[in-house]
Structure 1
Amino acid sequence: IAFTPAQIAGSDGELSPSGGFYIQDPKTGDHALAEFHPDDVIFMLGDGVEQIGLNDRLRGMGEEPLRPVPHTLVMPEGSNDGSSVSRVWHGRMVLPPSGAVVPSSSETFGDVRRSLASSSSEFSPHSTPTSLGCSSPTEAARLLAEEELSCAEDTTYCWHRCMPHEDSGVSLEMCSERNLMLQCVNPRDQVYMSGHGDFYPACSNSTEPASPFPTLPEFPREESVCNDVAWEAFSSTTGYDHFFDQLGDNRGNRGFWVGASEKGMGKVAKFMWNIGEDGKTIEGKLVFNGLFGYLAVGHANLEDNSKNGMMGANIIMAVPGQDYTAKDGLDLTKDETVLEYKIHDKKSAFRHWQDPIPDRDTSTYSVTSTDCFTSLTFTTDNINDVPLVAEDGTGDLVWAGNSKDYFCGYHGRGGDDGQGDRDRFTVNWMTGKGWFPDEKADKENMEGLEGMDPKSSAARMTTSLGFIVLGLILSA
């Protein structure tokens, strides 16, 4: 896309520079204000550089790939006070050729665009998944509809959909009485910009844009110390009869970031175990090549079709503190804990299931962490009274770890500076064999659509045309 700097047009016809254009810093994750000269013409590359294979060519030549960078727009202060102002700009967007084939599909970009256009008004079980618009499964496509999205009066557009005020216990009248606006915020009272997160309608006058969580005190770790030799020593399988060392993010071997080919292969996490003489008790250990933000392992929920077994899972989870709040995260001055939890069936944010399962014997559970690595050990025959060893001698499991922050988020999929790693995997407890089951559709782009049918047109509409907008990058 090529465009000129935006202008703010007031009701008096006067024009003034818009400003408010932010891009995400690739190192810190902070939103940085981009400054343009009035005579500038800005050229931006979209996620199409991944879709059409341009970055693959650059990588093949040993060159640095073009990094798609999220961007967001903020209207000037006071623009929501009822005054008549508009943000205007001039530009041209170039789409991938209609006949070009989407790398992850047999369809062309033209097919996808037609399918996405129709899905904005009507859902068909045979329609093209909206995730085809994104080169990475870890990102949700942002809305760029050719038609303007309007929400009902008792809803607010928040995290890719119209969220009912009633679900969050707020209303326009309630906010007005308190001289507050009704807007989309997270538990830290930050206004939604882009990306994944826990957002909902609330009464707030905050103007602070959503930002990444504060990091662990030890982050980033010292990679020269946390090297392969140190990892192999920490993750030694000595003392265990069986192990599965292919754990990594997204079934151990897939991804869309540099270095993804090294995921799994013993580089991210290993699970090792002994089975007791009773054929039921498991002495298990999960080791994670990352700092201790949290570490968890447990039963996959076989009925979950939204997060590949995560939703509703019974797990053993170690966290580096206590007294969690969604606003401040864990209190790291308190002792670490290893307890059992049941993840909420529909709501993934930790605040919805932060209370551990009561009256559980966790005396054999422990966690060990260093300035480099983390391990979780346990000896038990069940989690929340669900046997670890199924009748056929197998275990369908999930694991997750976060090495970046202390807010117990699961997003990040490993490539985002270790913010998150997770997998679903199966083991035969008796033979020691481990493998990845057929992965059900992971509705990653539907995170946050809690309580809403992901098949509805409102949910699907808001994720359309991501290959145009998602993560645009400024080019010199």
Structure 2
Amino acid sequence: MRHRSYRVCNGRTLALIALVVLVARTQRVFASPTDERRFWTPTVVAVDDGVGSKIRRMGNDVEKSKSFVFENTVAESLTRDGVVAVRVRGLNEAKTQSAKLFMDCARVTDNVAVEEYDDGSRRVTLATTTKQRGSGFGEPTSKACKKFEVTTKMLRAKVSVAEQAITDVFQSKFSDLSEFANGVLMQGENGETYKTFSEVLKDCEHLEHFHGYTISPQQKLKNSKVRTIEEHTDQGLLIAFVPAIIVDAVTGRRDKFSSTGDFYMTLPGHRKVLLHFDTLPDDVVIFMLGQAIEQQITPKLANGLELHAVPHAMDMPNLKSNQFRFWYGRMFLPPENALDESHGLSFGTVRANIIEDFARGLKTSVGCGRELLSVAGSGSCASNQIWCWMRCMNHSAPASNPLTCRTGHSVQCLSQRLEVWTDADSHGDYNPGCTDETNETKPVTDPPTIPARAASCTDGNAWETFLNHSEYENSLELLQDKLYLLWTVQNGKLKARVAFNGKIGWFALGIKNLGGKHNGMNGANIVMGVHDPHPMGHDSNFGSPYVGKSSAKQYKIHDHSSAFRHWNDTADVASPFVSSTTFNSCFSCMRFETASIRGEALNLTSGINELIWAAHDGTYLKGYHEVQGFDRRDARGHLTLDLTRNYGRVTCGFSRGWAAASQTCAFSAASTPSAIVSISIAVIAILVM
């Protein structure tokens, strides 16, 4: 727990300090600050007077191209990594001059927040909230602060140049919305609509921070295993920040040779990296996606596009007694009248509650992402609702089937493994249920993983023998050396086999529901092979709902609710569908023969088939799509097949990782060169919760 002390002089400053808490609070994730992570450098692009140009680094060469390449590069980086660095000419000098004057102002003003951390670090903050780029701090009373404000205008103006370029990219590349969105990106509490990113960002509130961190050499040595700021996800739409620099507090001179500390990031796909500042130019602004983008915007984007927030953490460097670490950041908060659709409160209301609680001296769990919602959380739910997984959920509707608990039990927010959820818990599938447990007696834990297979499974040609290519006319590699679809059309039926090189929890193949949510996942008819090795439906090795035994059955994914528990009872095994499964200690497969899936006919004699697929090998839980060794988003996708063609055996050669898997694989059929199969991974979010 961190200990805080504050010096304030007015209500406006009090509100700002409360909002500072938004980005200061954290979720404990890392075991220690000695995590082994590889160094990583984000994509760097450049802007010059607002006109974008890409920078591609090849040795010492720098290549620049036109604005459309800039936009494509930024969009690809934000989709793949959630992070991009924008280079602005003159920014480094503006940052250095602002840092030089920061402590002179911080020493004499009352408009400052002071925070102390468990590792002995101390942070002083000057903050402001604005809607217009580059506006001021109010009325600084001291000469030192007036000078600091004048100097920071240039730094903030440079960041605004990069901000405008990023806004243009959002407007250009992320403007297509799904049918589910009905043309509205965000809804206002009074019926207003935000239809584009430009409208959202134009009306959003900027929370700007200037931080100065200090730590004594003795404290750093004493608390070397304590992380300064633990992993957290920022609540806003995105945050822009300039890499920190080390400054002499007495002379104001920058020390270019001292480390600025360690900055940890968890990129999409659970890629844990250490930001490599030494490879970045001095004049960059780093843009990083926040929780509001992931929760409020991503579900409404068309074409399966996904934007994910980036959790991050920081460790202080070893500093001399006269040095401090200077940092500037700008968070883009959702418009105050915009509704958070998971619980119906405006973001302005939530922030007002935060400030009110802070002023009353109440401890608040608010800070980052989900925790923001918990401020108004349980207290804002109706009498027939419970605060569950960041929203108010009904527990007495429908009226015909209310949730009634027996004596000694109460309504709690439960995982599918009957564990009790709290605001501190992570992503998952939770809903109201009756239990006599609490979060203390049965907290949410990570599900056990599927036991590893024996080393002998990789000996010789065991995998090739298991694939049994000779039994089928066509085969297609979905994941390199991991997942295959094999098929033959005979006697008016599709004879298919989905084979996995390893032990699987589940895999699925189905017909895309054109126009359905999540790019055709919701409402789709699928064949799903499930491995349920234990007869107890709530055994800790997997989770409910239990399907009875390991099997391959036909299901219809719910039109609106994606979690398996909403559609597990749609299984249809009526003739003429024939299926079987093999789950052994080395490999897994499902086989089926059919002319349709749950009555929806396959195009076997003419036309194409829009199909979806997904797989999960981490646990026996039926709620995630993930294949170990690959990006999580590589573990599902869609493909277009012409089943009247003969393709033969096809290996697309996908390598591991998002960059390779996002490519379209195109190849000619064996009998007809013009026939094309196209695969696009990272499109279907099948079975997401």
Q: What TM-score does the superposition give when structure 2 sets the normalisation length?
A: 0.41
CA shift digits 1:413-455 (9 cap, x unpaired): 64589999332222121233422359768599xx65xxxxxxx
| Secondary structure in 2 matching 1:200 | strand
Partner in structure 1 of residue 496 of structure 2: 284
Task: State the match for 1:474 in structure 2.
Answer: none
Which residue matches 1:315?
Answer: 526
Aligned-pair CA distance for 1:360: 0.9
Q: What is the alpha-carbon distance in structure 2 between the residues aligned to residue 53 and residue 240 of structure 1?
A: 55
- Secondary structure at the counterpart of residue 100 of structure 1: strand
Post-superposition offset of 1:392: 4.8
The structure-2 alpha-carbon separation of the partners of 1:439 and 1:374, relative to structure 1 and needing over 3 Å to count, comes to: closer
- Aligned mates of 1:209, 1:237 — CA distance in 2: 46
**Deviation for aligned residue 1:232:** 4.2
Describe how 1:140-289 pairs up with structure 2 within 5 A: 142-145=369-372, 148-150=375-377, 151-154=380-383, 155-167=385-397, 178=407, 180=409, 182-192=411-421, 193-204=424-435, 205-207=437-439, 208-216=442-450, 219-222=451-454, 225-226=457-458, 230-235=462-467, 237-245=469-477, 247=478, 264=479, 266-276=480-490, 280-289=492-501
Corresponding residue of 1:468: none
Aligned to 2:677: 434
* CA contact 1:318–1:336 (8 Å) conserved in 2: yes
Match for 1:404 among 614, 618, 631?
618
Greater share of strand: 2
Deviation per residue, 1:224-266 (Å, 9 max, x gap): 6337964444335334322221x2xxxxxxxxxxxxxxxx3x3
Task: Give 1:350-429 correspondences, 5 Å limit.
Answer: 350-355=564-569, 357-358=571-572, 360-361=574-575, 364-389=578-603, 392-412=606-626, 414=628, 421-429=635-643
Cα distance change of structure 1 residues 333 and 201 upon mapping to structure 2, 3 Å threshold:
closer
Instruction: List per-residue Cα deviations over 1:75-100 (Å, max 9, x = no partner).
Output: xxxxxxxxxxxxxxxxxxxxxx9953
Which residue of 1 is the match for residue 286 of structure 2? 100
Distance 1:120 1:435, change over 3 A: same
Give distance in 1, aligned partners of 2:581 and 2:514. Answer: 27
The question of whether the paired residues in 2 share the 8 Å contact of 1:168 and 1:201 is answered with no
Residue 309 of structure 1, CA deviation = 2.7
Change in 2 beyond 3 A, CA 1:98/1:111: farther
- Look up the match of 2:184: none
Matched, 1:341 2:526: no
Alpha-carbon separation, structure 2, partners of 1:200 and 1:122: 17
1:182–1:418: structure 2 CA closer, same or farther, 3 Å change rule? Answer: same
How far off is 1:342 after superposition?
1.9
What is the CA–CA distance in structure 1 between the aligned matches of 2:284 and 2:686, rounded to whole Å? 26
Which residue number corresponds to residue 310 of structure 2? none
Work out the CA distance in 2 between the residues paired with 1:240 and 1:171: 49
Q: Say how many residue pairs are matched.
A: 344
How far the C-alpha of 1:111 sits from its partner, in A, is 8.5
CA contact (8 A) 2:498 2:589 kept: yes
**Paired residues of 2:531 and 2:620 also in contact (CA < 8 A):** yes
User: Aligned residue for 1:4?
Assistant: 2
Q: Which residue number corresponds to residue 514 of structure 2?
A: 302
Bigger proportion of residues as helix: 2
Normalising by the residue count of structure 1, what TM-score does the alignment of the two structures yield?
Answer: 0.56
- Please say if residues 373 and 390 of structure 2, whose CA atoms lie closer than 8 Å, have aligned partners that are also in contact: no
SS of 2:565's equivalent in the other structure is helix
Render the CA deviation track for 1:296-347: whole Å, top value 9, x for unaligned: 22222223223x3332222222233486735664799975322222222223
Give me the whole-angstrom Cα distance separating, in 2, the residues matched to 1:405 and 1:169: 35
Give the deviation of 1:203 after TM superposition: 4.2
Match in the other structure for 1:325? 537
- Three-state SS of the structure 2 residue aligned to 1:225 is helix
CA offset at residue 223 of structure 1? 5.1
Change (3 A) 1:408 1:47: same
> Is the contact made by 1:284 and 1:377 (CA closer than 8 Å) also made in structure 2?
yes
Q: After alignment, is 292-301 or 325-334 more displaced? A: 325-334
What is the CA distance between 1:206 and its match in structure 2? 1.7
- Taking a change above 3 Å as real, the CA distance of residues 186 and 293 of structure 1, as seen in their structure-2 partners, is same
Structure 1 pair 67–336 and aligned structure 2 pair: CA distance change class (3 A): same
Q: Secondary structure at the match of 1:351?
A: helix
Task: Output the amino acid matched with 2:677.
Answer: G
Gaps of 5+ in 1: 7-19, 27-35, 55-63, 70-96, 124-140, 248-263, 449-476
Q: Report the equivalent of 2:332.
A: 113
Q: What does the per-residue CA deviation read over 1:108-150, in whole Å, with 9 as the maximum and x for residues that have no partner?
A: x988724476645699xxxxxxxxxxxxxxxxx8324399334
Q: What's the offset of the Cα at 1:220?
A: 1.9
State the SS of the aligned residue for 2:286. Answer: coil
Give the C-alpha shift of residue 271 in structure 1: 1.0
- SS of equivalent to 2:568: coil
Does structure 2 retain, via aligned residues, the 8 Å contact 1:241–1:274? Answer: yes
Provide the secondary structure at the position in 2 that maps to 1:145.
Answer: helix
CA contact (8 A) 1:300 1:397 kept: yes
Contact persistence 1:268–1:288 (CA under 8 A):
yes
- The answer for the alignment partner of 2:651 in structure 1 is none
Residue 398 of structure 1: how far off its partner (Å): 2.0
| Counterpart Cα distance in 1 of 2:585 and 2:472 | 24
The amino acid of 1:354's aligned partner reads: N
Query: CA distance change for structure 1 residues 345 and 146 in 2, over 3 Å: closer, same or farther?
Result: closer
* Distance in 1 separating the partners of 2:401 and 2:595: 48
